[in-house]
Amino acid sequence: MTADRPSPAVVLLSGGLDSTTVLAMVREDGFTPYALTVNYGQRHAVELEAARDAARRYGAADHAVIDVDLRRFGGSALTGPEPVPRPGSVEEIGREIPATYVPARNTILLSLALAWAETLAARDIFVGVNALDYSGYPDCRPAFIQAFAHLATVATRAGVAGRPMTIHTPLITLTKAEIIARGTALGVDYARTVSCYDPGADGSACGACDACLLRRRGFEQAGVPDSTRYRTPR
Amino acid sequence: MTADRPSPAVVLLSGGLDSTTVLAMVREDGFTPYALTVNYGQRHAVELEAARDAARRYGAADHAVIDVDLRRFGGSALTGPEPVPRPGSVEEIGREIPATYVPARNTILLSLALAWAETLAARDIFVGVNALDYSGYPDCRPAFIQAFAHLATVATRAGVAGRPMTIHTPLITLTKAEIIARGTALGVDYARTVSCYDPGADGSACGACDACLLRRRGFEQAGVPDSTRYRTPR
């Protein structure tokens, strides 16, 4: 990789607010982004269209969509018939691991990113996890990211050859409002991103799940207009 | 889990010699095996039929076959058009990481096993990796398994709640001959297992890839008849 040729980086892209912001940041940081979206049977599959749109808009050199049907294992309101929880207020979010937790999801997503990074000879993986305005999932915390980074050094040909992978988490300590402010400065059009865990067939957001509550408050605190169509008034 | 009710365990099952032996060992150890096979686009997809057969024969309570098309990423002779290497002798195997290495494969397989284990409330995962008679893949070594076990404790609801997952590798220090001897004692019918990286459409084995060379020598050293149909004479 010469200095004037941007390095490839794999970016996990769900089509949500966070990962779309990360994609815009990666290009701004001078990497060539390779966007990776995993269709794991999530009920909010409308995310996939948002991810395709984001990959086009924010300069992904390639966009891989990989199917891994986690509905076979169950255990989550995001992939099964259980209702998506609707916390009474944003303050209740993250106190316990909620029913929307998908077992081992981020381990699976990062494993796939690791595979692609190795074949691209990329040394950088970006993931939009956040441990502040988040649902309390264990696989969004710094301890998880550190453990995965160590695993990557012993799991791969590249790692064993002394070319370790860096797992970048540029959002991990930001508030949702800070993320929105950063993305807005980079020209991200959030109207096209999807956060809701339980979206309607018409693309509307429920307005009451963890992800909607955090998104709503984030736009308010950032002072940025929120064009999301919520089904539930405040 | 009461003492008289066997604990569930997830067993990664490729349909090869090693993982089929592990499946038989798991049942012998008193666990209820849940067999997990991943169809990742391997050219030796005839393995999948062998896996289905093994799951039935060796008492799997359930058998999940998950599709994850790693051909999208390339980078391996097992998933792409590159020829499978044919080492001149068994002594050459494992000196370097060969072209049959699949980037991040075992990380992906164990991630999926972790997801299923968590939804089953299982605390045990079995994988037939071997670091002695093997192709030199980085993700078969003890350092990799230790790193994954640590990751599992921070990645999951169960791990965070103080119910860590144990990653069992009962074959890791055995020779191929010892594995065959153990499986034979447990009644494993190796005629139905597939090791070859480049099998023919008729189910025959090439007789010349890493996996065939190690398999052939293993049966010889174990003094067990080898009914594999090899296309290449010794």
Chain A CB contacts of B75 below 8 Å: 115, 118-119
Residue B9 in this model has a pLDDT that exceeds 50: yes
Inter-chain contact B104–A112, Cβ cutoff 8 Å?
yes
Residue B43 lies in a domain: yes
Residue A3 in this model has a pLDDT that exceeds 60: no
Residue B160 lies in a domain: yes
Residue A234 lies in a domain: no
Q: What is the pLDDT of residue B221?
A: 97
Inter-chain contact B74–A150, Cβ cutoff 8 Å?
no
Q: For residue A129, which of A116, A147, A115 has the smallest C-alpha distance? A: A147
Residue B227 lies in a domain: no
B128-133 average pLDDT score:
91
Q: By the 8 A CB rule, do B35 and B70 touch?
A: no
Q: What is the pLDDT of residue B4?
A: 61
Q: What is the pLDDT of residue B167?
A: 98
Q: Where in the sequence is the domain holding A71, given as residue range(s)?
A: 8-222
pTM over 0.90: yes
Q: What is the CATH number of the domain that holds A112?
A: 3.40.50.620
Q: What is the pLDDT of residue B2?
A: 44
B204-218 average pLDDT score:
94
Share of chain A above pLDDT 90, in %: 74
Which stretches of chain B sit within 8 Å of chain A by CB? 64, 66-70, 72-75, 97, 101-108, 111-112, 114-116, 118-119, 138-139, 141, 143-144, 147-148, 150-152, 154-157, 159-160
Residue B120 in this model has a pLDDT that exceeds 90: yes
Inter-chain contact A144–B151, Cβ cutoff 8 Å?
yes
- For A132-157, write each residue's pLDDT tens digit: 888 889 999 999 999 999 999 999 99
Residue B187 in this model has a pLDDT that exceeds 60: yes
Residue B229 lies in a domain: no
Residue A217 in this model has a pLDDT that exceeds 90: yes
Q: What is the pLDDT of residue A233?
A: 75
ipTM computed for the complex: 0.94
Residue A37 lies in a domain: yes
Concatenated DSSP letters of chain B: --TTSPPEEEEE--SSHHHHHHHHHHHHTT-EEEEEEEE---TTTHHHHHHHHHHHHTT-SEEEEEE--GGGT---TTTSSSPPP--SSGGGTTSS--TT--TTHHHHHHHHHHHHHHHHT--EEE----SSSS---GGGSHHHHHHHHHHHHHHSHHHHTT-PPEEE-TTTT--HHHHHHHHHHTT--GGG----SS--TTS-B-S-SHHHHHHHHHHHHHT------BSS--
Q: Using DSSP bridges, classify how beta strands A8-12 and A32-39 pair: parallel, antiparallel or unpaired.
A: parallel
- Burial of A220: CB neighbours in 10 Å, binned 0-12, 13-18, 19+: middle
Pick among B38, B63, B111 to test the A interface (most A CBs inside 10 A): B111
Residue B53 lies in a domain: yes
Copy the structure tokens of residue B200.
């023919």
Residue B183 in this model has a pLDDT that exceeds 60: yes
B-chain residue closest to A72, CA distance: B64
- For B135-159, write each residue's pLDDT tens digit: 889 999 999 999 999 999 999 998 8
Chain B CB contacts of A101 below 8 Å: 157
Residue B17 in this model has a pLDDT that exceeds 90: yes
- Which pLDDT band, with edges at 50, 70 and 90, does B208 fall under? very high
B-chain residue closest to A150, CA distance: B147
Residue B3 in this model has a pLDDT that exceeds 60: no
Residue B2 lies in a domain: no
Q: By the 8 A CB rule, do A64 and A91 touch?
A: no
- For B76-108, write each residue's pLDDT tens digit: 988 888 889 999 888 888 888 999 999 999 999
Residue B1 in this model has a pLDDT that exceeds 60: no
Distance linking the first and last C-alpha atoms of chain B: 51
Pick among A129, A156, A163 to test the B interface (most B CBs inside 10 A): A156
Share of chain A above pLDDT 70, in %: 97
How many domains, in total, are found in chain B? 1
Q: For residue B50, which of B23, B25, B10, B77 has the smallest C-alpha distance? A: B23
Inter-chain contact B147–A143, Cβ cutoff 8 Å?
no
